Structure 1
Amino acid sequence: MVKKTIEDRMFEACNYFLLTLVLVIVLYPLIFVLSASFSDPYKVINGQVWLWPQDFTLKAYSKVLQNQDILTGYWNTILYTVTGTALNLTATIMAAYPLSRKDFYGRNGIMAIIVFTMFFGGGLIPVYLLIKNLGMVNTFWVMIIPNLVSAWNIIIMRTFMQSSIPLEVQEAAAIDGCSNLQILWRVVLPLSTPIIAVMVLFYGVSHWNAFFNALIYLTDRDKYPLQLILREILIQSQMQEMLGVSEESLVAQIMDAEAIKYAVVIVANLPVLLLYPFLQKYFVKGIMIGAIKG
C-alpha cells in the first residue's frame, strides 16, 4: 500500500467536502418535496416544513387518486412513453446499424444529412403546418411521430456499434449464412445491451417529461399527458384569483392545490427514479464506450 502524503489527504478531504455539498444541494429539494407532500399544506405555505413532514397526512395522495384528470393523464403518459420508446428504439437501431457498416454505400452522405438536422430546423410554425397537413393534430401519434428519432442518439448508437462490436464477428456470421437482419438480431443486438439501455433511458425520460408537443398540438383533455395536468395544477391558484373566487373558497382551493401539486410531483417522477438504479450501470458503460472508442 502506498502511504498517502499530507497533500493527498487534504485533496481527498476537499473532494469529500465538495461532493457532500453538491449532494446536499441536489438532494434537499427532493426531500423537501417529499416531506411537503405528506405535510399539512397550511404549514407548507407558512414555511414550517424544512426537512421532516409536519402533521403527517395522506390527504394529498388520496385527492390525487380521486382526481380523474390526473389518473387519465398518468395513463396517457404511460401509453405515450411505452409506445414511443419502443418505436424510438426500433427506428434508431434500424438507422444506426446500416450507418455503422463500412460496406454500406453512401453512409457518409446520409450521416451528413442527419447531422445537418441538428443545426438547422424549419421552426415551430412550419412544423405545426406540416403536422396539421398530415392530419396528426389532436391525435395519439402527434406525441410520438414528430420525435421518432434523435440525430444525437443515432450518432451515439452508430459509434457504439462501430467501436464495440468487432467487424470480424459480423463477417463470421455472414460466412455462416446469416443475412444482414439475422446478423443484427443474433449478433449485434445481444452485444449492444449497454447502449440499448441508454437509449431506453434517454427516450423514456424524454417521453415521460414531454409537455410542449401536448401543449401545442392537443386540444382534448382526455389525451393530455400527466405533465400537462401538473402544469395546470401549478397555475391553478393564480387562475382562481383572477376569476374572483370568494375568500373562504379561495383559501380552501389554494390549500388543496398546494397539497396536490407536491404529491403529483412525487407521483410523476417516481417511475423514473425507480427505473434509473437498474439502468445506471448500463448507462455509464454505454456512454463511455460510445464516447471514447473509435
Structure 2
Amino acid sequence: MDFPAHPAGGSVTGQYFTSADGQVKVPALVLGDTFPTVKNDILNYKWKTGDFLLATYPKNGTHLMWEVMTMLLQGSAEYKEELARQLVMLDIFPISNSETHFPSPRVLNTHYRQDVIGPEYRKGKTVVVLRNPKDVCVSQYHHEVKMMPKVAPPFKPLENLPFSSFVKMFLFNKDVPYGTYFDYTAYVWSLRNDPTVHFIFFEDMKTDPIGTVERLNEFMGTKRSSTFIQKIVEATNFEKMRKAKVAAEHTEEIEEKRKTQTGIPPEKDKSKVFVENIFRKGATGDWKNYFSVADNELFDSFLANWEAGKGIPFRY
C-alpha cells in the first residue's frame, strides 16, 4: 500500500519514546526548543498522590474529558482556560514548570501510551477515552492537515493533503507522532481488566452523559452529588463549552497569564488559532460526510484484519 510519509515522524525528528524492554518504539511529538526538557520531565517525573492521568490518543475526546474530570476533582463546574490543560499536558509543557501554576491535585493528560513513558504513570488512577476509528480519522485530518500547519511549521507539508491520502496514512503509516491509532488502542485495551484503569467511550458522552459522568465520579472517588453531575453535563455541552473556551482566549487577562507562564509574547503566541480550531464538531458519525465509497471499503478491509480490535465495542 502506497501511503504518504509524515513530515513530523520519528524518521525525521529522530526522537522516540521506548518501552523498558525495547519492544515498543513510539515517535515523539517534537514542537519547538522545549522538547528536550519536555522529554526529560516525562521520563523523570515522580507521581504525586491524588493526581489522575487522562490517557487518550489524539482526537478521542481529550479536551472534553479533561474538563469533566477537573470539575469532578475540584468540585466546581466552571471552565478552566485552555492554558490550564496545556500546563498539565505532559507532551507539550515541561511538567517541572507546572507546579507553580497548577499544583496537585490535578488531571495530567497525555497522548503517549503508558508503557513508553514509564511505570510512574501507572501508580495512580488512569482514565482512557476511546472513540471509533472512522471519526478519529476525520477529526485527525482536520487537526493535522487543516489546523497544525497554521501553528507548527513541521506540519506545513500536510496542508494540501487530500482526505483519501490521509486515510491511507492513518491506516498504514506507523511513523507518525504517537504511533498509530490502532497500536495505541490495542495496547490500552489490554489494560481493560486493571482496576486502576477506567474506560469511557466518547460516544457514551453523547448518548448517556449523566450515566457516564456518574460512573467516572465513582471511579475517581470524588463523591459528587447527582445535582452537581447534572451541572457538569450541562457545562460540558460541546457547543456551549466551545463558545466559552474560544471567547476566554481573547481576553487580555489570559494573554498576560499565558505570557507569564509560557514566556511567549502575545504577538508570537498561536494559541488563539489552536483553540479556535481544536473544538470543531465533537460529533459522532461525521465520518459519513467525508468517506468516499473507496475510502470506506479500504477502512473496512483494514478493520476486518485488525485482530486486536475485534472485541472492542465501537459504535459508528
Q: TM-score surpassing 0.5?
A: no
Instruction: Flag the structure with higher strand content.
Output: 2
Whose helix fraction is larger, Structure 1's or Structure 2's?
A: 1
- Give the structure-2-normalised TM-score: 0.25
Q: Which has the larger radius of gyration?
A: 1
Normalised by the length of structure 1, the TM-score is: 0.26
